[in-house]
């Protein structure tokens, strides 16, 4: 009985330590996210705006492993942007995963324009919408940044705690891609960035 009790205590301790470590990792990620607004020359936010950023509590269950189906010989497509123009992308892969007990799928995109730059040659773009949009999160959807080098053995980690708003959530004057209908998730993903609490700027 004592042995069973000890194992249970150790297991609970390990789970609590993992949860604490995960929260610390997400906190560090969010701090860098905010710092990047101040470092980026074309940023829509200044130091006084940062307190208006809002986030869901870190939730390790919203970090999942997805199966990657690479797509070959895909044509260029135009993703509409919030200002009514468009940007060229290529469908890079289909991602299938389970979140909160539901089987889901998203399309992962690659930008030829960014891929031409050495620092972004492996950058992958995951725009999506979910059932929190317009209530808890930006109505236009959110983004997640991924990297082709993180695909291992046909899988990649998707952490919805790192979902962020497009610049268009804070100000007009930006060409932010609208998440396509194929990336509309019929679930509430209460992870990542929430609605901006400040007023949207007009340029």
Question: Tens place of pLDDT for every residue, the chain, 203 residues?
Answer: 544 443 333 344 444 556 579 999 999 999 999 999 999 999 999 999 999 999 999 999 999 999 999 999 999 999 999 998 999 999 999 999 999 899 999 999 999 999 999 999 999 999 999 999 999 999 999 999 999 999 999 999 999 999 999 999 999 999 999 999 999 999 999 999 999 999 999 87
What does the domain layout of the chain look like in residue ranges? Answer: 2-183
pTM over 0.95: no
Give just the sign of the alpha carbon dihedral 113, 89, 110, 183: positive
- Give the Å distances, CA to CA, from 161 to 60, 114, 126, 193: 8, 24, 13, 8
* Radius of gyration of the chain measured on its C-alpha atoms: 19
Contacts of 198 (CB under 8 A, 6+ apart): 49, 52, 170
């Amino acid at each position: 009985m004592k042995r069973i009790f000890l194992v249970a205590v150790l297991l609970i301790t390990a789970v609590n330590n993992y949860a604490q470590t995960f929260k610390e990792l997400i906190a560090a990620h969010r701090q860098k996210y905010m710092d990047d607004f101040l470092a980026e020359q074309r940023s829509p936010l200044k130091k006084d705006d940062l307190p208006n950023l809002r986030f869901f509590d870190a939730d390790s269950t919203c970090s999942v492993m997805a199966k990657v189906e690479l797509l070959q010989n895909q044509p260029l497509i135009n993703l509409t942007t919030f200002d009514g123009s468009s940007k060229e992308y290529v469908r890079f892969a289909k991602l299938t995963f389970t979140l909160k007990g539901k089987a889901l799928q998203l399309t992962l995109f690659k930008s030829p324009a960014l891929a031409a730059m050495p620092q972004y040659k492996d950058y992958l773009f995951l725009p999506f919408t979910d059932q929190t949009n317009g209530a808890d999160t930006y109505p236009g959807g959110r983004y997640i940044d991924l990297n082709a080098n993180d695909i291992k053995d046909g899988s990649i980690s998707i952490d919805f705690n790192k979902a962020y708003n497009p610049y268009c959530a804070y100000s007009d004057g930006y060409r932010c891609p609208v998440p396509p209908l194929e990336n509309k998730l019929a679930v509430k993903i209460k992870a990542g960035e929430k609605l901006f609490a400040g007023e949207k700027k007009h340029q």
